[in-house]
Amino acid sequence: MNILVINYEYPPLGGGGGIASKIMAEELSKLGHKVIVLTSRIKGLKKTEVENGVKIYRVPVIGRKNKSEASNISLFSWPFTSIPKAVSLCRKYKIDLINTHFYAPTGPTGMVTSLLLNVPNIIYTHGTDVYNSSKINKTPSGKGFLSWLLKLSLNLQTKIADAVVCQTEFMKKRTQSLIKDLKSKAKVTVIPLPFKVPQVDILQRKKSDGFKLVTIGRLVKSKGFSVLLKALTYLPEQIKIDIIGDGSEKEGLRKMCRDLKIKHRVNFLGYIDPRDEKRKYEILCEADCFVLASSYETFGIVFQEAMYCGLPIVTTKTDGARSILEQPKNALFAKVNDAEDLASKILKIYNKKTLRDKMSRNNLQTIQKYYPESIIKEEEQFFLQILDK
């Protein structure tokens, strides 16, 4: 197959959705398929390059200045630069199938290209587009013009697309609830995100001084970093945290650390390029527990990374967390936006070594079912079924 993967964010841009599309693209390439990626570009990134067998094309967008977050104007400008390029790439490479990631804002590009060239289109929802639509900060089921527009776009795309793929059953139900008003041509299917086994040696976790927490995510409000920092004030002084990530909340969070007098316990490590696996996994392996305080989470590749390192996990009870983790087998769940409850769960991990060890063993075992071999084969067969229709 010749496959065009379209995603407005592709590493080093974006978060989990971009990483997921990268894993899928590279694994499909390993199976012998020609995979072309179309994504957006900011200053410092090449217009075209080949990475792990995948040819990447980047088109400019207006107003995007950093890797971790997209501005509203960049989201709205994306279709104008990406649609002409997508049409051109389909013709150049004789594309058999379009794989569109995120119905908003990527979706219109895949839809229009599919209609113009009569190429099958499969939409992948990654959660933020059906739970909380990126920078617009509106859900498609909410009130107001933007929510109405998002729901209309989703219904229109799914009516035309050949299939919709979700990562979890939670996401499938959410997506179906948003497209129930129209008869959709597309079948909604669940295929979990594969976990890319890192090309680094992890023999055993290193023991840090004291008790080290670690978290990974964009420094944005929905990730709950302010709740996490407040939770730290309820915990013993020897519990410290490494924060991997960057974003618009960074300076506010630094100020919060100063105000709460916990600056000496918090280490802001900044953005780590997803391609720098060694650095990220070194940090994970020095930790005692992974923690995430998101107000919503749709899947959580970071959970997979923590599990691979054998880390016990404390996180909020979101659909994404519950789709991959079980309490108390793999994690402890805290209430959303409740710093005291989050602190109590962390304290339980801190005080009970037997629980930490049990979670560690369980996570090392559970992560194996997400290894890419079987999941990518399932995806490949699904693509072939769409082409055979």
Q: Would the CATH topology of 2-194+372-388 be identical to that of 211-369?
A: yes
Decide if pLDDT at 171 tops 70: yes
Which two tokens mark 136?
């617009």
Our CA angle for 72, 76, 80, nearest 5°, is 150
pLDDT score recorded for residue 125: 87
For 211-369, CATH number out of 3.40.50.2000, 3.90.420.10, 3.40.50.2300, 3.40.50.1000 equals 3.40.50.2000
Q: How far is CA 316 from CA 115, 275, 372, in A?
A: 41, 27, 26
Q: Where are the beta strands (DSSP E) in the chain?
A: 2-6, 34-41, 48-51, 54-60, 97-101, 121-124, 163-166, 187-190, 211-216, 239-244, 266-270, 289-292, 313-316, 331-334
By the 8 A CB rule, do 290 and 304 touch? no
Task: Please give the model's pTM, rounded to 2 decimal places.
Answer: 0.76
Fold held by 2-194+372-388 = Rossmann fold (3.40.50)
Domain ranges of the chain: 2-194+372-388, 211-369
Q: Lowest-pLDDT range, 52-61, 104-113, 176-185, 214-223?
A: 176-185
Q: Lowest-pLDDT range, 172-186, 202-216, 223-237?
A: 172-186
Q: Are strands 54-60 and 97-101 parallel, antiparallel or unpaired?
A: unpaired
136 pLDDT band (50/70/90 cuts)?
Answer: very low
Q: Lowest-pLDDT range, 9-23, 218-232, 243-257, 343-357?
A: 9-23
pLDDT tens digit sequence for 296-352: 887 778 999 999 999 999 999 988 899 899 999 999 999 999 999 999 999 999 999
Decide if pLDDT at 47 tops 90: yes
Decide if pLDDT at 137 tops 50: no
134 pLDDT band (50/70/90 cuts)?
Answer: very low
173 pLDDT band (50/70/90 cuts)?
Answer: confident
DSSP character at residue 188: E
By the 8 A CB rule, do 217 and 245 touch? yes
SS3 of residue 110 by DSSP = helix
- How far apart CA 40 and CA 18 sit, in angstroms, is 11
Stretch 13-38: mean pLDDT: 92
pLDDT score recorded for residue 20: 86
Select from 98, 236, 73 the least CA-distant residue to 160: 98
CA distance from start to end of the chain: 15
Average confidence score pLDDT of the chain: 89
